Structure 1
Amino acid sequence: MSHIIVIGAGQAGASLVAKLRNEGFEGEITLIGAESVPPYQRPPLSKAYLLGDMALERLFLRPESFYADQNIALRLGQAVTGIDPVAKTVTLTDEVIGYDQLALTTGSAPRRLPSAIGGDMDGVFVVRTLADVDAMAHLVREGARALIVGGGYIGLEAAAVAAKRGVKVTLVEMADRILQRVACSQTSDFFRALHTGHGVDIREGVGLERLTGEGGRVTGAVLSDGSQLELDLVVAGVGIMPDTALAEQAGLTLDNGIAVNELGQTSDPAIWAAGDCASFPHRGTRIRLESVPNAIDQAECVASNMMGAQQDYVPKPWFWSDQYDVKLQIAGLNTGFDRVVRRRGDKGAVSFWYFQDDRLLAVDAMNDPRAYMIGKRLIDAGKTAPPELVADPDADLKALLRG
């Protein structure tokens, strides 16, 4: 009987094995995860879970009983130490398992602050796993002093939760502005004003020189402008890297992640990859998407292709971020934009529409689900919107969907 092994028990891995069973795969399935808990949602970790608004069980993507009911062998708390593509085996700490097909859904790993500047001290955290958040929770309290390093969405979300818990937050961003890598200056301006309005001290164009401490625990920081801070904790939100260690050991082709073709196959046709760890062809280039929707959609496409569907993966990118009482929804990819149009919504809602020439690329919508949905449907359908129409708050953009 055919045996499929999936390495990585996150959103992509859980989606892939569920899809295999849903598509009628009757062979053996083994899902291997390094963490000791069943697959869970990551986005709520640094928000609802850290705030105490979500219980642990609600994080789980499915009850643990689901995997047994579906005859999926769930191997938790197990480290994979190697893959042998010739023998078609996966090596665990004390066991070797054979496979017919293998899927890598290893996700990504957070960039950490270098130990040379104190990044290995107690009280310095990243936000990626349940264990990360559990370890910092007792420090995120009223009156504590926190430094957030990095002004991307990870850093801003951490700052928002800490501020809501009564923490005195300083956020530093080495670039000229927060969100510089991922958003237009108008979106940066919106979120800068939002955070400063909640008491967050945002310092742009300022980096971390070094952390200081006592007895191996962080107590302060020296910034690149010479200023010094007294601290109780530090959160590094300086990005993530695709987890490609096993793929590299197995000799698979890497290119900003594990390189896969349109179907999700790696350079070894018996090995597939999906989610944060995988880069794939898209509109003449190669991209990698770090998002829950991509992890689900790509993993489900790969599952179908492992069963012979021969279906190209066509992404429909969308993302979201929750900060305070603002829900940011993003549709599309803004790479290559040369113009941004602002559209005013109701009750303080606003959206920014990205164009390249007259082609609509992406939309950032803040508390404006209508603008987001219309923009997303236009982008997914390959349609555009006249910029002057977008800028007119009284114009009915929905009519463009019928055109």
Structure 2
Amino acid sequence: MQYIIIGASAAGMAAAEAIRRLDSEGSVTVLSDEQDMPYFRPMLPFIVSGKKKFPEMMLIGQGPYRGANIDVRINSRVEAVNTADQKVSIKSGEELPYDKLLIATGSVPNIPSDIAGVEAEGVFVLRTIADACAMAHRAETARHAVMLGGGLLNLKAAFALLERGMDVTLIVKSPEVLSKLMEPDDTVLIRNALNKAGLKLVTGSSVTRILSDSSGVIGVLLDSGREIPCQMVCIGKGIRANVEFLDKSGILVNQGVVVDKFTRSNIQNVFAAGDVAVTLDPIAGERIVTGLWTNAAEMGSCAGRNMAGQPGIYSGTFGILNAAQVADEPFVSMGIVHTKGTAYEIHITATPETYRKLVFTPDGTRLVGALFIGDISKAGLYRYIIREMMPIKDIKSEIVNHRLHYGHFLR
């Protein structure tokens, strides 16, 4: 059996390990378009800040990633997939046959077409180890960085640059940061933490042009006409599935590779997992693409087992599920948290140090979302209730009043 996996990040490597545990004889080949061996992508901001070196981020040899009898080929960009003949074509001209194929190519940064000057030296996206190293190098001489987009990765990159002693300005079109993880009214504690850390925040604005000269970036021009001097720009305006090489493959693509509950595509022997796959959000009942490392690894493991002949159902991507820390403020956002203009039942508890938002179905019979800021100590219990769609009639008051404990799951 010849297994080919395109993509060497969370989903691809998790699938390779799952296959190898079940099939010790088949060949497992992982193709990566990067020049470095697989690494832990969420740690990229630590490269920017200088707190970590690349060897500390390597995947193989860490935790479940043993890499035993798995052929990882770097600098091996796949340019086409021939599903009729079951072959993949690599940029070098080589063709590799497969019996089972996994698409795990992840995502690529979205570069807005309405921003002029993005080709200037000193403009970055933070997606690969090469990006992180280039940012760190530029930061050695830059004094001020402008970050475009208020998502979690861009915030982490911003704080990495702050740790280097740089001035950092974050520009977002939305009313607040982290708009995909919480609503503007939910962000008071986050905003306070950003202000305390020294991050300058410009909301309700967008950049129309990146200004440059022979030295590279020298500033940005806002839609208001305001100019902000800077020496580097990091664009974090979302991602899109990396599927261009599948154009003539016959594989069904709709925002990503569409898969069933067994991670199978519409083409026999072709599977997909991770950021590139469109899967089901079991809470909202909608098809989504997730950008989370943990979800990608879980989905990749499921795909690997299915490819190796051990059928298993992927339970679905738990939509918005982020646990992180911004400055000194930890938060967890999960399930449905955007409720403005809806009929969801909402319970909010706020103190100067903590914020909690619980979202129930309109009839109040099921918990479907939760946001914790400051105190995240019981978030795991709430996550379990949401994901398992537990009946809550007997424990609703404990849920609302934050008195939930493990004993409630033993009844």
Q: State the TM-score, normalized to the length of structure 2.
A: 0.89
1:355 is matched with 360
> CA deviation digits over 1:315-351, x for unaligned, max 9?
3633222322333333334466735433469x93443
Cα deviation 1:128-187 (Å, max 9, x = unaligned) = 100001001033359711111111212222222222322211111112222223312343
- Tell me, what secondary structure is at the counterpart of 2:385? helix
| Distance across 1 between alignment mates of 2:391 and 2:150 | 31
Deviation at residue 384 of structure 1 after TM alignment:
6.1
2:41 is paired with a residue of what secondary structure?
coil
| Aligned pair partner of 1:371 in 365, 372, 378 | 378
Q: Is the 8 A contact 1:148 1:172 kept in 2?
A: yes
Q: Is the contact between residue 212 and residue 218 of structure 2 (CA under 8 Å) also seen in structure 1?
A: yes
Structure 2: runs of 5+ lacking an equivalent: none
Query: Structure 1 CA distance, aligned partners of 2:141 and 2:397?
Result: 47
1:401 aligns with 2:400: no
Question: Residue 25 of structure 1: CA displacement?
Answer: 4.4
Contact 2:368 2:386 in 1 (8 A): yes
Unaligned runs of 5+ in 1: none
**Counterparts of 1:53 and 1:143, CA distance in 2:** 18
Distance 1:14 1:53, change over 3 A: same
- Mapping of 1:304-383 within 5 angstroms? 304-315=305-316, 317=318, 318-334=321-337, 338-343=344-349, 348-357=353-362, 358=364, 359-383=366-390
1:50 aligned residue: 48
Structure 1: how far apart are the matches of 2:142 and 2:119?
A: 24
CA distance in 1, matches of 2:279, 2:309: 19
- Contact 1:343 1:390 (C-alpha < 8 Å) held by counterparts: no
How has the CA–CA distance of structure 1 residues 177 and 199 changed in structure 2, closer, same or farther, with 3 Å as cutoff?
same
Whole-Å Cα distance in 2 between the matches of residues 292 and 191 of structure 1?
A: 23
Q: 1:178 to 1:253 in 2, by over 3 A?
A: same
Once residues 176 and 69 of structure 1 are traced to their aligned partners in structure 2, the CA distance between those partners, rounded to angstroms, is 45
Query: Match of 2:70, as an amino acid?
Result: I
Structure 2: distance between partners of 1:301 and 1:340: 34
Query: Which residue is 2:123 aligned to?
Result: 124
Q: Secondary structure at the match of 1:112?
A: coil
Name 2:401's counterpart in structure 1.
392
Any residues of structure 2 matched to 1:4-403 within 5 Å, and which? Answer: 4-46=3-45, 48-63=46-61, 70-92=68-90, 93-114=92-113, 117-140=116-139, 144-215=143-214, 217-283=216-282, 284-315=285-316, 317=318, 318-334=321-337, 338-343=344-349, 348-357=353-362, 358=364, 359-383=366-390, 389-392=398-401, 395-403=403-411
Q: Deviations 1:93-145 (Å, cap 9, x if unpaired)?
A: 22111111110000000112448611111111111100001001033359711
Native 8 Å contact 1:161 1:324 kept in 2: no
Q: Larger deviation: 302-311 or 270-279? A: 302-311
**CA contact 2:148–2:236 (8 Å) conserved in 1:** yes
Whether contact under 8 Å (1:263, 1:310) holds in the other structure is: yes
SS in structure 1 opposite 2:323?
strand
The answer (yes or no) to whether the contact 1:263–1:311 under 8 Å persists in 2 is yes
Once the 2 structures are TM-superposed, how far is the Cα of residue 206 of structure 1 from its aligned partner? 0.7
Q: In the alignment, is the contact (CA less than 8 A) between 2:381 and 2:404 conserved in 1?
A: no
What TM-score, normalized by structure 1, do the two folds share? Answer: 0.90
User: Structure 1 residues 172, 388: CA separation in 2 closer, same or farther (over 3 Å shift)?
Assistant: farther
In 2, the alpha carbon distance for the partners of 1:400 and 1:69 equals 41
For 1:3 and 1:153, how far apart are their aligned partners in 2? 38
Of residues 70-79 and 172-181 in structure 1, the stretch that sits farther from structure 2 once superposed is 172-181
Q: Which amino acid aligns with 2:357?
A: F
CA shift at 1:38, angstroms? 1.5
- State the Cα deviation string for residues 177-198 of structure 1 (Å, max 9, x = none): 2222331234332222211121
Letter in 2 for 1:42: R
Q: Which amino acid aligns with 1:60?
A: M
Cα 1:319–1:249 shift into 2, 3 Å: farther
Give the direction of change, closer, same or farther, for the CA distance of 1:225–1:245 in structure 2 (3 Å limit): same
Residues 1:248 and 1:328: Cα distance change in structure 2 (over 3 Å): farther
How far apart are the structure 2 equivalents of 1:390 and 1:113? 42
Q: Which amino acid aligns with 2:19?
A: L
Partners of 1:351 and 1:19 lie apart in 2 by 38
**SS of corresponding position for 1:293:** helix
* Structure 2 CA distance for aligned equivalents of residues 382 and 36 of structure 1: 43
Greater relative contact order (CA < 8 Å, ≥ 6 in sequence): 2
- The alpha carbon displacement at 1:68 in A equals 9.3
RMSD: 2.6
Change (3 A) 1:333 1:275: farther
Q: For residues 172 and 378 of structure 1, what CA distance do their matches in structure 2 show? A: 36
| Aligned 8 A contact 1:342 1:390 in 2 | no
- Structure 1 CA distance for aligned equivalents of residues 195 and 186 of structure 2: 14
C-alpha distance 208-177 of structure 1, shift in aligned 2 (>3 A)? same
CA deviations 1:356-376 (Å, max 9, x no partner) are: 322322223334342211211
